[in-house]
Amino acid sequence: MLKLFNIQSLGIEVIKKTMLKRLLLVSVLLTLLTIGLSPTRAQEVDNNWTAWIYRHQIGTVTVIDPNGAILDDFVLPIGPAFLLYSRNIVVSPSGRFIAYMVSDTAETNPNQQLIIYDLSSGITIAQHNTPSTAGWTSFSHPDSAGFIESQSLFAFSYELVDFTSGEPPSWEMITLDYNSGVVTNIINQRNPIAEITVNEFSVLPLIRQSSADGVTFVTLVSDNGGQNAPAYTWDFNAGTINLTDYHQSGNSDLLRTTGDVIQSSLDDGLGIAPTQDGIAPYGGNIIQVYSPANAGIFPFYHTEARFIIDTDFVEFGNRVLSTEIDPSGIVAPQWVLLERDGTTVAQTTAVAQPSQIKFTADGFVVFNYNEGLRLTHIHTNNNGFEQRPIWSDLTSGIGGGQLAYVQNFAFAPPSYADWVAISGG
């Protein structure tokens, strides 16, 4: 009652003036917000990601926003017994954890340790030493997907090479609970369920998708360099490894929201791409897709003009980017923007290596070396290739960094356009 009495005693005019001031303030704020949000939808969406740059030579991670501002810049911890960082890191989908390997400089079978680093606390929360015979690990290759954050697990693999026994190389894959440091699942090539299913010449599983039920992986195979490698699923609960109905090569991309896989390949029925001086073409002449929502694998794009050397999802998976080279080797590589029905939307000269491309909601981010390290956003959902420089470090030499991760904060689309198959041989 005291508060009501005091308000009433102020008088009607005072109350009116106060209300007018508040309305004016709200009006000003709304005007400012309108001005700030007035650019096109594309520029709004462009702010919904961060890029993570990793430099393995010195173990630094730099997190950059779409305006080029450095949000974080730190050196990953390394123990006194180790000197080298793995060539690649794995960032968890939430952006909270980073997994990486450290090793010493032994020429054969170096001591290696897996580290899980918690960015929120700034401390190492888990460490795991690989066996003394471990060689290459899944960190030797980019785009591993080992985190299962819902269960606090990380899956990774390593090659086993015993130079004293004379046995051929084999492999092992585990899941580590990074809260307790306990290995919860383990499988190796000598295990009966792996021997029955997995190619006997496999030397290292590369994890492409992880969930609470298990992991999907492809294997590097000693007789084909990992090209056109079969994909398998390791079911933790059932204790089985099953061959999937698709293959995945190095020049492929996986859309983890749907499980769709795209990759370039050769199809004789659609005509072999032109060769150079009788040499077999480098790359493919089609892009084929495997989609869990469709039966089998089928091509949706074909070219007779160039070789397809890589393919990537862009615009959150709504479209596909094809990286192609002219058979003469004289013309610069081209980017071709494609719809899911194989229609060409636009094309331009490529400015980056395929492995340095990761999608955003409006296009994709490119990381390349051009007289220093440069990060560029390519805006494509306006049916073009609008380039916007984001960040650069002109002090770094060739190979001084990589685009380890792009964290998207925009929501994935509720549905995608259907794939449209083309007929082949």
pLDDT surpasses 60 at 3:
no
Report the alpha-carbon angle 50-56-59, nearest 5: 80
Residues 46-77 have pLDDT tens digits of 579 999 999 999 999 999 999 999 999 999 99
Residue that wins the pLDDT comparison between 97 and 187: 97
pLDDT surpasses 90 at 368:
no
- pTM for this structure? 0.83
Residue that wins the pLDDT comparison between 37 and 316: 316
pLDDT surpasses 80 at 296:
no
- Residue-level pLDDT at 13: 36
The band of 357, judged by pLDDT with boundaries at 50, 70 and 90, is very high
Residues 322-337 have pLDDT tens digits of 999 887 777 888 999 9
- Radius of gyration of the CA atoms of the chain, in A: 26
Which residue bears the tokens 């090479």? 161
pLDDT surpasses 80 at 185:
yes
- Residue-level pLDDT at 41: 31
Instruction: Choose the most confident range, by mean pLDDT, from 24-38, 138-152, 277-291, 384-398.
Output: 138-152
Domain borders along the chain are 46-68+252-425, 76-250
Distance of CA 44 to the CA centre of its chain: 23
Element holding 334 (H helix, E strand): strand 334-338
Under a CB-based contact definition with an 8 Å cutoff, are residues 248 and 255 in contact? no
Residues 217-258 have pLDDT tens digits of 888 776 544 455 778 899 988 888 888 876 666 678 889 888
- Residue-level pLDDT at 195: 75
- Residue-level pLDDT at 274: 55
The chain-wide mean pLDDT, for the chain, equals 81
Q: How far is CA 190 from CA 130, 160, 200, 378, in A?
A: 17, 11, 10, 46
The band of 399, judged by pLDDT with boundaries at 50, 70 and 90, is low
Residues 249-279 have pLDDT tens digits of 667 888 988 889 998 888 777 765 555 544 4
Q: 282: closest CA among 240, 339, 326?
A: 326
Average pLDDT over residues 92-100: 96
Name which of 72-76, 156-160, 173-177, 325-329 the model is least confident about.
325-329
The band of 4, judged by pLDDT with boundaries at 50, 70 and 90, is very low
User: Which architecture, in CATH terms, is 76-250?
Assistant: 8 Propeller (2.140)
- Alpha helices by DSSP H, listed for 86-197, are 192-197
Q: How far is CA 125 from CA 77, 81, 179, 296, in A?
A: 11, 18, 7, 42
Under a CB-based contact definition with an 8 Å cutoff, are residues 309 and 354 in contact? yes
- Residue-level pLDDT at 223: 53
pLDDT surpasses 50 at 126:
yes
Q: Which residues contact 142 (CB under 8 A, 6 or more apart)?
A: 88, 355, 402, 404
Average pLDDT over residues 335-364: 91
Q: Which residues contact 397 (CB under 8 A, 6 or more apart)?
A: none
Count Cα neighbours of 137 within 13 Å in the Cβ-side half-sphere: 28
- Residue-level pLDDT at 269: 72
- Residue-level pLDDT at 141: 86
Exposure string over 42-76, b if 16+ CB within 10 A, otherwise e: eeebbebbbbbbbbbeebebbbbebeeeeeeeeeb
Q: What percent of the chain has pLDDT over 70?
A: 80
